[in-house]
Amino acid sequence: MAGGEKVDYVFKVVLIGDSAVGKSQILARFARNEFSIDSKATIGVEFQTRTLLIDHKSVKAQIWDTAGQERYRAVTSAYYRGALGALLVYDITKRQSFDHIPRWLEELRGHADKNIVIMLVGNKSDLEDERAVSTEDAKEFAEKENLFFLETSALQATNVENAFQTVLSEIFKIHSKKNMAADPKANGAAPSLAGKKVVVPGPAQEIPKSKCCSSM
Amino acid sequence: MLRRQPGDAPASAAASEADLAQLSTAIAAGEDLGPFVRRAFACGRPEPLLASLRAAARDREAEIEELCRAHFHDFIRAVDDLRSLLADADALKGSLSASHAALLSSAAPLLASLESFLAARGLAGNLSSALASSRRCVRLLALANRANAHLQGGNHNLYLALRAVDAIDRDLASGPEPLPLPTLRRMLLSLVPAVRAHAEREISREFSDWMVSIRAASRHLGQVAIGRSAAARQRQEELRSKHRPLEECITLDDDGVGDLDDFAAAAATADVADGAAAASFDLTPLYRAMHIHHTLALGERFKKYYLENRKLQLTSDFDVIAATPFLESHQVFFSQIAGFFIVEDRVFRTGGGLTSRPDVDALWDSAVAKMVSVMEDNFSRMQTANHLLLITDYAALLSATMRRYGYPVGMLLDVLARHRDKYHDLLLADCRRQVVEALAADKFDQMLMRKEYEYSMNVLAFGIQSSDITPAFPYVAPFSCTVPDICRIVRSFIEDSVSFMAHGGGGDTYAAVKKYLGRILSEVVDASIQKLVDSGGGLSVSQAMQVAANMSVMERACEFFTGHAAQLCGVPLRAVERGRRDFPLRKSRDAAEALLLRLLRSKVDEFMGQSDGVTWMADDPPAGGNEYANEVIIYLETLTSTAQQILPLPVLRRVLVAVLAHISERIVGLFLNDSVKRFNASAVTGIDTDLKMFEAFGESMSSLFVDSDQESAANEMKAALVEARQLVNLLMSNSPENFLNPVIREKSYNKLDYKKVAAISEKFRDSSESYFSTFGTRGARQNPKKKSLDTLIKRLREAS
């Protein structure tokens, strides 16, 4: 699949969070449009790729998932290495999975690049009747820690596309700035990214204002 | 018997009586009488012999007549008997004729009955024969019907169908006579091979279906088996190493397979969607196919067919990776092969000779060769360390899995071991880039931390805290942000190295990890910092000081790295502490200090370069010292107040001593400067005042080192300024010629150089001479200091 395509960027994004919060389902939902080997319940790490266009550039998203073996230590460090984006996933019906988010965030910041783009994701938004984590609590935590925030439903495909698009677009911005800084000649040629609208929210969903992760 | 006649006279002699006795015996015995006759005639007296012979003849004739008479009587009686018998026979003949007539009259109806009986019996025999033949036909048709029913019942009844068909065949082949119905016989003769062919076709189709399904099932089976190996390894690691806080709070989902074998585990973990795959772990179709082929006397052919098809299937498994990048397909590739051989192991153990150990070994050898080839090819083109780690890790899990089934995995592990250096080279290259980026991004300011988790993440995580008390926030660290960044990079390297070493090959893991840790610290961290320092890079004094301060923090971090590596390798810390080594970043630390000194010296030179600062021919000494000295003192005091916050005391001490030594050099240099032609005693007094200020500064600085020997610090500071002090003392002395006295020189002027003293003295003498020359015009005596100075100069010239 990848052989014939010309790809301008390859961005690695990792999915982290407690087991059974639906990380693999989020990944499957996002990557559903691309052919992939049938590899269910793989060991330690699974990743799938999907190529999309951002601002007329071909961006290949390499999404990494722990596939339910969060403590698979052999690839803990390698899992985070080179990651430019991360989705911190919790289950809105399980308070404990949200209470563990600070520890996941700490591990992420301890291993990954400091400029990583992080989005807090509350999955299983279709199970409103069983909600155990309020949107306000999560939003407050996200604002305090300078994270993006969205609630998703992998089952109903709610906001999954938006989550990845937001993270990838933000990574793209950062990388474009780096490239322009590295190559002054490209300043004039590169189109301005200011005010670019990249996320189209669904009904009743609020997208937080764009925030860059602060330097630690 | 000879009878004695009464008329015969006994005239013969005794000898004649003996001869007669013998002759009688011979006649009675029937012997030949020749010898008797010849002897009688030889004797010449034949008459007695002839008389005996005639007597014997008469006796014989008498007997014959007697015998004939007796026989005649018997004959007559016999004839009478015969005549009587003839009469009886005639009577019997009549009686017999009468009986015959009676019998014929009564037997006629019986004969008719007998004929009827015989006809009926023949008919019965025919009927029996027909019935037997029909019964045989019925039995054959019943067998055929049963075979048909079994065939309709599915492949699990094929064996029973074949048994029925075999019975038909045996009947046709070995029956007492050919089947009387040719049509039926032809039909059955064609039916038997048709059923066998059908059975073979059906069982082959089922076998082919099984081959397809077992391939899909093998992948799942391989994944589960490798997953169980991963879980077992993880349990061992948890037992061996300390849990991180995060891990203690997360409950790993237990799949509940417990100690079930891999087949049962794979079946238990199959989803509903994998129901077919789970059912396919059943080897029954294979056993059935083998049994059917054996029943059809095709067992050997089936063995070959099975082996060839499994080879083809394995070859096809090798092509799983063709369509997709290996990084994304390697798990499928390895799982498929693992599942294949787990199935093959079971077939070998339970297949009753379907496969042999050499067959399975040959398949495994080809699979290993293929996997080795694929890995080598992909590794050679791989440029990202964690991709290599992912694949080698999964390959190591595959090896652990296959070892459980007794397959030799040495060659696989050899590949992993062979790529250890490549993996670490990639890792080192990646880390080098990260370290360089971190250094480039650092402004070398002290790092500010606002939250406790920042302190925990940047300080506690690497054991570089100054004390065990958590500080108040915001907290200003003694190091800049490069330090935790580099620590994170190195820790990540350690973890990635341990991940590879622990499962990527044999040998002493800790020794190898320690070797690679040494490499990253020396080749990457030390070299990068050294390069930054050597280039200068426009660093200011405060920034250089921060770099030097960072190095001391890194020294503590290096202890953490060694301990961390040991902990991850399961080595007790006591063993590590015993083998404590030198600071691996010594070069860059020395380079950083050298840079700091270099910059400080330039700063000092800059201040002392203000040549208009010193008035060499002033009438009076400058009050409070020269301007440059005040500026240097102010600068040094400002510098020290900052330095003592971040630099460790030994470094600060070394820096101060070196700076003072440099100041001493520069003071001597002032006197030697070509722009200074002459100077007078006032100038010397001024320099002396400057020197006293520097000495006072050193004295006050030594109070910082109360932890170490304060007195020795003061002595070091003073010793740093000794050259300038000795020069000034010499110039202010009334007897400078004492420099020529070896004892006095060694005691008071041991740091001074001959040539320097000569040059400086020349400048001093000129001014002195001029001064005293004016005084001399009044007629006063020559000044004794001048004379001493002249003596000194003269002797030094001679010495040179």
Q: Cβ B252–A46 below 8 Å, yes or no?
A: no
Collect all residues of chain A within an 8 Å Cβ-Cβ radius of residue B499.
73-75, 77-78
User: A20-29, B549-558, B770-779: lowest mean pLDDT where?
Assistant: B770-779
Cα B623 to its chain centre, rounded Å, is 84
Residue B567, chain A, CB below 8 Å: the answer is no
- Total count of domains within chain B: 4
Q: State the sign of the Cα–Cα–Cα–Cα dihedral B752, B754, B759, B765.
A: positive
B427 shares a domain with B403: no
pLDDT digits (tens, 9 = 90+) for B560-611: 887 878 777 777 765 665 454 567 776 777 777 787 777 777 777 777 776 5
Query: Which residue blocks in B153-181 are alpha helix, DSSP H?
Result: 158-174
Residue B87 has, within 13 A of its CA and on its CB side, a CA count of 5
In a domain, B251, yes or no: no
In a domain, B455, yes or no: yes
Q: Cβ A71–B252 below 8 Å, yes or no?
A: yes
d(CA B481, CA A215): 10
Residue in A closest to B245 by C-alpha: A103
In a domain, B601, yes or no: no
B782 contacts: CB under 8 Å, gap ≥ 6? B772, B776
B329 shares a domain with B228: yes
d(CA A21, CA A90): 6
pLDDT digits (tens, 9 = 90+) for B122-139: 989 988 888 888 877 887
**What is the extent of the structural domain holding B42?**
37-68
Question: What average pLDDT does the structure give for chain B?
Answer: 74
Residue A2, chain B, CB below 8 Å: the answer is yes
Residue B363 clears pLDDT 80, i.e. is over it: yes
Residue B573, chain A, CB below 8 Å: the answer is no
pLDDT digits (tens, 9 = 90+) for B47-89: 777 788 878 887 878 988 888 878 888 888 798 888 788 898 9
Which of B250, B491, B502 lies closest to A70 in CB terms? B250
Residues of chain A with pLDDT below 50 are: 1-5, 33-43, 69-75, 183-216
Q: Cβ A72–B230 below 8 Å, yes or no?
A: yes
Going by the DSSP 8-state scheme, the letter that residue A49 receives in this structure is E
Residue in B closest to A215 by C-alpha: B481
Residue pairs between chains A and B whose CB atoms are closer than 8 Å: 117
Residue B568 has, within 13 A of its CA and on its CB side, a CA count of 29
B532 shares a domain with B620: no
In a domain, B21, yes or no: no
The encoded tokens of residue B209 equal 């279906």
d(CA B262, CA B400): 13
Residue B606 has, within 13 A of its CA and on its CB side, a CA count of 8
How big, in percent rounded to 5, are the helix, strand and coil portions of chain A?
35, 20, 45
Collect all residues of chain A within an 8 Å Cβ-Cβ radius of residue B393.
44, 74-75
Delineate the domains of chain A, giving CATH numbers in brackets.
Answer: 7-177 (3.40.50.300)
pLDDT digits (tens, 9 = 90+) for B21-49: 777 788 778 877 788 787 787 877 677 77
Q: Which of B562, B591, B620 is the last residue of a domain?
A: B591
AA letter at B105: S
User: A195-209, B184-198, B679-693: lowest mean pLDDT where?
Assistant: A195-209
**pLDDT in the model for residue B120:** 92
d(CA B635, CA B655): 14
Q: Is A159 left (phi over 0), alpha (psi -120 to 50) or beta?
A: left
Residue B119 clears pLDDT 90, i.e. is over it: yes
Residue B652 clears pLDDT 70, i.e. is over it: yes
Pick the most confident of A135-144, B373-382, B496-505: A135-144
- Per DSSP, the three-state class of A87 is strand
**pLDDT in the model for residue B389:** 77
Residue B609 has, within 13 A of its CA and on its CB side, a CA count of 6
pLDDT mean over B189-193: 80
B628 shares a domain with B729: yes
**pLDDT in the model for residue B321:** 58
B552 shares a domain with B478: yes
Is B636:B603 a contact under the CB 8 Å cutoff?
no
Q: Cβ A37–B324 below 8 Å, yes or no?
A: yes
Q: Which of B16, B51, B68 is the last residue of a domain?
A: B68
B472 shares a domain with B368: no
The encoded tokens of residue B345 equal 């192991």
B568 shares a domain with B635: no
Residue in B closest to A78 by C-alpha: B386
Q: Which of B407, B441, B466 is the last residue of a domain?
A: B407
B654 shares a domain with B544: no
Under the banding of pLDDT at 50, 70 and 90, the label for residue B522 is confident
B756 shares a domain with B614: yes
B502 shares a domain with B368: no
In a domain, B186, yes or no: no
Residues in chain B: 800
Q: Cβ A73–B430 below 8 Å, yes or no?
A: no
Selected residue with higher pLDDT from A178 and B446:
B446
B760 shares a domain with B618: yes
In a domain, B412, yes or no: no
Under the banding of pLDDT at 50, 70 and 90, the label for residue B695 is confident
Is B481:B447 a contact under the CB 8 Å cutoff?
yes
**pLDDT in the model for residue B241:** 54
In a domain, B663, yes or no: yes
Residue B728, chain A, CB below 8 Å: the answer is no
Q: Cβ B331–A216 below 8 Å, yes or no?
A: no
C-alpha dist (Å) from residue A51 to A14, A31, A193: 16, 9, 21
**pLDDT in the model for residue B582:** 67
Residue B544 clears pLDDT 50, i.e. is over it: yes
Chain B: give the shortest CA distance to residue A98, in Å.
Answer: 12
Is A25:B205 a contact under the CB 8 Å cutoff?
no
**pLDDT in the model for residue B577:** 56
In a domain, B119, yes or no: no
Residue in B closest to A108 by C-alpha: B457
Residue of A48, A73, A215 best to disrupt the B interface, most CBs of B under 10 A = A73
**pLDDT in the model for residue A86:** 92
Q: Cβ A45–B390 below 8 Å, yes or no?
A: yes
Residue of A43, A45, A101, A107 best to disrupt the B interface, most CBs of B under 10 A = A43
Residues 336-395 (B) with a CB less than 8 A from some CB of A: 384-386, 389-390, 393-394
Chain B: give the shortest CA distance to residue A203, in Å.
Answer: 34
Residue in A closest to B227 by C-alpha: A43
CATH of the domain at B460: 1.10.357.30
B440 shares a domain with B331: no
Please give the share of chain B, as a percent, with pLDDT higher than 70. 79
Residue B740 clears pLDDT 80, i.e. is over it: no
Collect all residues of chain B within an 8 Å Cβ-Cβ radius of residue A103.
245-246, 249
Give, rounded to a whole angstrom, the gap between the first and last alpha carbons of chain A.
39
Chain B: give the shortest CA distance to residue A36, in Å.
Answer: 8
Residue B657 clears pLDDT 60, i.e. is over it: yes
